[in-house]
Homo-oligomer: A and B are copies of this chain.
Amino acid sequence: MRWPDGFIAVDWGTTNRRAYRLDPGGSCDGEFEDGQGVLSVTPEEFPEAVAEIRRRLGDLPLLLAGMVGSNRGWIEAPYVPCPAGLDDLAAHLVWPAEREAIVPGVSFVGDSRADVMRGEEVQLLGAVAAGHVPVDSLVCHPGTHNKWVVVENGRIESFRTVMTGELFNLLRQHSILADLLKTDAEPDEAFRRGVRHGLDRDDLTSDLFAVRARVLLGEARREDAASYTSGLLIGSDVRIGLSGNGATTVCVMGRPELTRLYAAAIREAGRDANELDGEQSFLSGIQAIATRI
C-alpha cells in the first residue's frame, strides 16, 4: 500500500458525509459525520471542505467515495461498466491531487435497460471481501434508491435500481396520502398484507390511491396506512428484484430500520434473508481498495 501511515476514508453522499481515520492495520481510530453533503458544497469549496476533514482527523491521504465523484460533486469519476470488482474500482480511481483519490461508480447497460450506482459498490464489494456476502449471490441494498445486485465471482455482474425510498418520501411529504403516512412503517400484519398485494399484482399506481379510499370508506384502519403503503411499495420492489433470479437466500445490506422491512418482505416471498450492517461493509471495502493502490 502506498499509504504506510494509514488514510482517511470518506463516504460523501448527497446530504451527509461520514469520515473515518483508518490506521495502517485498517482499524478505525477516529470518525465524524456531518451535514456537509455534496449538494451543500459548491465546486470551488471542495478543497476547503477537504482541508476541514484533515483538520479534524489528521494530515493523511484521503480516499473518497459516493456522490462526491458525480457531476454534482468535486470532480467527476466516470462510471466503470459491469462486471466490476475491487480491482476495477482501484484501477479507475480519479486523483484530484497527489494525496486524494475518488472511487468511481458502476454502470450497467443490458437487457434493454441502463442503470447507475455510486457509493453502494464500496459497501457491497467490501462485504464480499470480508466474507459476509458469498462471491455468487443476490444482494438487496435499500435506501433512497434500492439496488438489487447480482454478484458473480466476487464482482458486480449486473444490478437494478428501484426508487422505492424516494417515492415513499414523496408520498409522505407532498401527496394526498401525506396525512395518512405520518407514522413509521413497521413489519406488522398491515405491512405484510401490503407486501402480498405488491408481490402479486402490478397495479401500484392504482393501489396507492386506494389507501385513502379504503380509510374513507371504513375498509381499512387509518393507523395501518403507513405500514400498508410501505408494504405495497416494498412488495412491488421485491417482486422486481427477485424476478428471473432463483437465489434461495438474499443478502440485505443497509440501515437496520430498512433492512428489517425488506427482510420481512423477502421472507413473505418465500426466500431467506440475511441482514448486514452497511457501515462496517463500507470500511472493509474502502480498506480493500486502498491496499490495491
Contact = CB atoms under 8 A, between A and B. Distances in A.
A162 interface: yes
A39 B205 CA distance: 24
Given A173-B174, A174-B173, A162 B209 contact: yes
B114 A209 contact: no
A45 interface: no
B219 A163 contact: no
A55 interface: no
Contacts of A164: 205
A247 interface: no
Choose among A114, A173, A217 the residue with the greatest number of B CB atoms under 10 Å from its CB: A114
Interface residues of A, number: 42
17 contacts: A107-B217, A109-B219, A114-B210, A114-B217, A114-B219, A115-B209, A115-B213, A161-B206, A162-B205, A163-B176, A163-B206, A163-B209, A164-B205, A170-B170, A170-B175, A204-B204, A205-B240
A142 to B, nearest CB: 13
Nearest to A145: B209
A8 B191 CA distance: 47
Contacts of A175: 163, 166, 170
A202 interface: yes
A220 B109 CA distance: 12
A255 interface: no
A131 to B, nearest CB: 30
Contacts of A210: 113-115, 161
A233 B205 CA distance: 9
A147 to B, nearest CB: 10
A237 interface: yes
